[in-house]
Structure 1
């Protein structure tokens, strides 16, 4: 079913590593602390602001930029100052990605410096042809449709020949709309308000386990 795929696109956080690593929990906590300091509010109000922008804008940063004049690079440097050693190296995943035919990409709402650290920790520094981050998205993140159009245009991707693997179900809606094959990792990570699942082609719980079957099937053809 995936023999036509020549572009393999992966989200980063809670996708290339398991949500159980709790790396994103560190980022979440630092976002709350940043908002408390910047807006001069308590933890409960900061949480309300943070999650409100997450649900309305796709991520917290664009809301802070639009409503509070927050500098994106300052925010990203602060919230990504986390310990990536909680993520375990994954040489098996690196080997599986290397066996996929076609090009491979990381498509993330995080920034490149942080993503590069995580990929290095996983052992995936050489696994991808390109990394498309929040700066490349001009701070208009997934699930905004322009993010997907921009990603495809920047890397000359035909979405009908692409698969997108992502832990947030709502982020797959625009991908499906432009013809991508969609893979949702149902691993317990925080979801947005949209409960739709009819746009999902495959539901998995672990990338490496799924790719093991994919690679085996493709290599027998």
Structure 2
């Protein structure tokens, strides 16, 4: 699936535009566990298990809490994104490559716009992206469910046949493929071990036809498609 004719470049945010090795999302993960524990009254270990069960069954822990508890999603987002963003380092090579891509550059994330803007600012790309489609814009329906993809495409005027999606979670690329987008799986360096992920998060499907490209170096991967 070539990318030479792509005119809509769609990027996930967390662990995609910044490396998983900086462990920014670890902070969010711990705050989500604490939030689940606070809402349910569970101790940390069973709260952590429930958090992962929600993520597996509902797409996000937030969606699971909304389905089973009477919580304010905006309160949840403000709590779990109250983090230190300094682990995200400026990445001029990546930002320069994205800026030089032909066409529209967008972020599609299960986080909120405020979190995305904080990350983009740390990367040095506050003037690069044409829009951010976050969980609020998706009416709190997360990837990988199909509805937010369709709403994203409609809201931003994206032609799926001329779009490529870059994402660290393979399961989110399956829906992108189904709606007609090219897909790129962004993975960490092979030497990186992450004990925060469950087996179901790491597991790849035997049928890989929905993953068109794989890279552990996003800047270098994008370079051939830039217009200088």
TM-score clears 0.5: yes
- Two-structure CA RMSD over aligned residues (Å): 1.4
Q: Show the counterpart of 2:26.
A: 25
How many residues align structurally? 217
Cα distance per residue 1:186-207 (max 9 Å; x no partner): 2167463762133100011121
Aligned partner of residue 84 in structure 1, secondary structure: coil
2:152 pairs with 1:166 = no
Which has the larger share of helix?
A: 1
Among candidates 199, 205, 212, match of residue 201 of structure 1? 212
Q: How far did residue 52 of structure 1 move?
A: 0.3
2:201 pairs with 1:192 = yes
Q: How far did residue 4 of structure 1 move?
A: 1.5
TM-score between the two structures when normalised by the length of structure 1 = 0.94
Among candidates 197, 201, 212, match of residue 223 of structure 2? 212
Aligned partner of residue 219 in structure 2, secondary structure: helix
Q: Show the counterpart of 1:34.
A: 35
Q: Show the counterpart of 1:49.
A: 50
Q: Distance in 1 between matches of 2:81 and 2:217?
A: 24
Mapping for residues 111-190 of structure 1, pairs under 5 Å? 111-187=112-188, 190=197
Q: Show the counterpart of 2:89.
A: 88
**Moved beyond 3 Å, runs of 4+:** 188-191
Aligned partner of residue 25 in structure 1, secondary structure: helix
Consecutive unaligned residues in structure 2, runs of 5 or more: none
Q: Distance in 1 between matches of 2:209 and 2:3?
A: 19
Residue pair 2:4, 2:225 contacting (<8 A) in 1 also: no
TM-score between the two structures when normalised by the length of structure 2 = 0.91
Residue pair 1:87, 1:121 contacting (<8 A) in 2 also: yes
Consecutive unaligned residues in structure 1, runs of 5 or more: none
